[in-house]
């Protein structure tokens, strides 16, 4: 690996961030995790990482970065719900833009070398983009969540120009896998598992959803590790290039679980892209990344992890 040794992961008690922290520790890095536990779970934080239950907007988070001086900031903490961003765009901007700027200012003061930012591909390009979307396609997000992510990408260019911090922006497809929070709309796999297995609210209406590009969390973690070795600024789509409609995911999970529960369709929600899939050519060419795990295998692994976590009737 490179000479980068000390890495701070924001959102490291959450779904993707905790898996990234696991992998960084396994690779021999010194890791600290910042997470306010609003959606993350402290038990997700790996035992070998330092843990700080700070909000990314706080002076505590700022001071920690200034004193601990990480070589790399891996930024996953976010308000992650499209629906919430539509209902309250001010709050979304406070969390996703102002919170990020607080971290970046501290990183500049601490002379961090690199920031790896968990951006979005699923909400970035808008409905006018080709499918699958490429990085060179114009970003025209349809919702405040995507708008905020794009704004942060532009701020990272500023911090590169003014402070020499290398920015790597990973535009994720819709990520699924073990530890996914099934309580919100951002967790497609976990959300559907809870409903199909009878752990969700009775009478839930399955909304008519857009086609989505999905990517297993393990493949996303691999992209983060490869980004550590890439020493230039970059924007990379992290996805399979394929669309999968939510009904197909539902039916696959239903088959794996052995459930007889059928879907009830409802209307689409405001702010959603109708279609989303990402062309990952640049990630394959420059990061040497490509997805390794098929949808069927990924859903099977994810379902097994949910069954272990939720047990017989758990509500976690």
Catalytically active residues, by annotation: 145
Burial of 270 (0-12, 13-18, 19+ CB in 10 A): exposed
β-pairing verdict for 114-120 and 30-34:
unpaired
Q: What is the 3-state secondary structure (H, E, C) of the chain?
A: CCCCCEEEEECCCCHHHHHHHHHHHHCCCEEEEECCCCCCCHHHCCCCCEEECCCCCCHHHHHHHHHHCCCEEEECCCCCCHHHHHHCHHHHHHHHHHHHHHHHHHHHHCCCCEEEEEEECCCCCCCCCCCCECCCCCCCCCCHHHHHHHHHHHHHHHHHHHHCCEEEEEEECEEECCCCCCCCCCCHHHHHHHHHCCCCCCCCCEECCCEECEEEHHHHHHHHHHHHHCCCCEEEEECCCCCECHHHHHHHHHHHHCCCCCCCEECCCCCCCCECCECCHHHHHHHCCCCCCCHHHHHHHHHHHHHHHHCCCCCC
């Amino acid at each position: 690996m490179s000479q980068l040794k000390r890495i701070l992961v924001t959102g490291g008690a959450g779904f993707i961030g905790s898996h990234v922290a696991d992998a960084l520790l396994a690779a021999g890095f010194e890791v600290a995790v910042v997470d306010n536990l609003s959606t993350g779970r402290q038990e997700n934080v790996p035992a070998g990482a330092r843990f700080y239950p700070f909000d990314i907007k706080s002076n505590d988070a700022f001071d920690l970065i200034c004193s601990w001086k990480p070589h790399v900031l891996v930024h996953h903490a976010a308000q992650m719900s499209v629906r919430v961003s539509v209902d309250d765009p001010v709050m979304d901007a406070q969390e996703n833009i102002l919170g990020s700027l607080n971290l970046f200012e501290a990183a500049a003061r601490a002379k961090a070398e690199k920031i790896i930012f968990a951006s979005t591909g699923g909400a970035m390009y808008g409905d006018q983009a080709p499918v699958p979307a490429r990085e060179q396609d114009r970003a025209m997000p349809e919702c405040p969540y995507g708008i905020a992510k794009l704004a942060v990408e532009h701020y990272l260019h500023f911090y590169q120009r003014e402070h020499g911090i290398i920015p790597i922006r990973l535009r994720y497809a819709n990520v699924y896998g073990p530890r996914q929070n099934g309580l919100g709309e951002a967790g497609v796999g976990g959300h559907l598992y809870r409903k199909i297995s009878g752990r969700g609210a009775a009478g839930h209406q399955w909304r008519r959803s857009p086609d989505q590009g999905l990517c297993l969390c393990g493949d996303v973690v691999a992209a983060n590790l490869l980004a550590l070795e890439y020493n230039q600024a970059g924007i990379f789509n992290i996805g399979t290039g394929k669309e999968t409609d939510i009904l197909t995911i539902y039916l696959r999970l239903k088959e794996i679980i052995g459930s007889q529960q059928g879907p009830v369709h409802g209307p689409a929600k405001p702010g959603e892209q109708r279609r989303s899939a990402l062309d990952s050519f640049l990630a394959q060419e420059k990061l040497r990344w490509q997805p390794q795990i098929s949808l069927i295998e990924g859903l099977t692994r994810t379902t097994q992890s949910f069954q272990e976590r939720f047990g017989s009737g758990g509500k976690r």
